[in-house]
Amino acid sequence: MIFEKPSTRTRVSMEVAAVQLGAYPLALRREELQLGRGEPIKDTARVLSRYVDAIAARVYSHESLEEMAAYATVPVINMLSDVEHPLQALADAFTIKEKFGAIDRVKVVYVGDGRNNVAHSLLLVIAKLGGHIAVASPPALQPRRDVLEAARAAASETGATIELLEDPKEAVRGADVVYTDVWVSMGEEAEAEERRKLLQDYQVNAELMSLASNRAVFMHCLPAHRGEEVTDDVIEGPWSVVWDQAENRLHVQKAVLALILS
């Protein structure tokens, strides 16, 4: 496991998952490796492939992962890039199934930064599993075109529905899952002020939750910024399933590791 950015859930759940399965996890920060002194990713990938059975990486740029995967001769797992966060999305899908029994009869609404890793991976997983997803975000923060195209292609095979909206209130009407993520992702600190302005009307608060269905749950990948993308009464309130969602990272990643390594 190579980390270019901080992590609480992903690092600890992956490390515990590996140990519980009898594997030997090594968690390394980029600067502990020669990578931090300029050794190319392609060289690192080829060398590590001679020692380990899988490489997992959390990176700033998605291209770094693609280069790693192109040169590694063992599986490469995305532990979050600027474009996707697939392990999170798998745990999210599992959590929805756990709470509602199925994915296809559940309306998932993502509110906020629709252009970040978590939004993209949620869109992709719901599309692949035949669910219903609406993304409510300001025009400048709608999902990337390539991600949207991939999600729409999957939806045409699974019967999933995808809606893009601007108005969070309109989107949340009848929602079974209201999902949000931070307004400023890791690596976007320079745009923080601009993003907070763009997203100020996208806070998930009790008023917004009251428009959702009467069985609605609140989801967040965490870490959360109370008072920004979500209010304290929502994340601590009866809607919130965020702790189960975080726990599910461990179970789902064990499944991923078992699938990849056996």
Q: Residues marked as binding for L-ornithine?
A: 117, 181, 185-186
> Binding pattern to ligand CP, positions 68-87, x when CB under 6 A?
------------x-------
**Number of residues binding to ligand NVA, judged by CB under 6 A:** 9
Q: Per rule CB under 6 A, is residue 121 in the interface with ligand CP? A: no
Q: Per rule CB under 6 A, is residue 121 in the interface with ligand NVA? A: no
Residues near 24 by beta carbon (within 8 Å), at least 6 away in sequence: 18
8's contact among ligand NVA, ligand CP, none, with CB below 5 to 8 A by partner kind, is: ligand CP
Which residues does the annotation place in the binding site?
Answer: 7-10, 34, 58, 85-88, 117, 181, 185-186, 221-222, 249
Q: Is residue 58 annotated as a catalytic residue, yes or no?
A: yes
> Rounded to 10 degrees, what is the CA torsion of 230, 236, 240, 244?
120
Q: Per rule CB under 6 A, is residue 200 in the interface with ligand CP? A: no
Q: Per rule CB under 6 A, is residue 196 in the interface with ligand NVA? A: no
**What 3-state DSSP class applies to 179?**
strand
Decide: 156 and 186 in contact? Cβ < 8 Å: no
Q: Is the dihedral of CA 36, 222, 125, 20 positive or negative?
A: positive
Q: Per rule CB under 6 A, is residue 60 in the interface with ligand NVA? A: no
CA distances from 117 to 1, 83, 221 (A): 19, 5, 11
CA distance 221 to 128: 19
Which residues sit at the interface with ligand NVA, rule CB under 6 A?
80, 116-118, 181-182, 185-186, 221
Q: Which residues are catalytic?
A: 58, 85, 88, 181, 221, 249
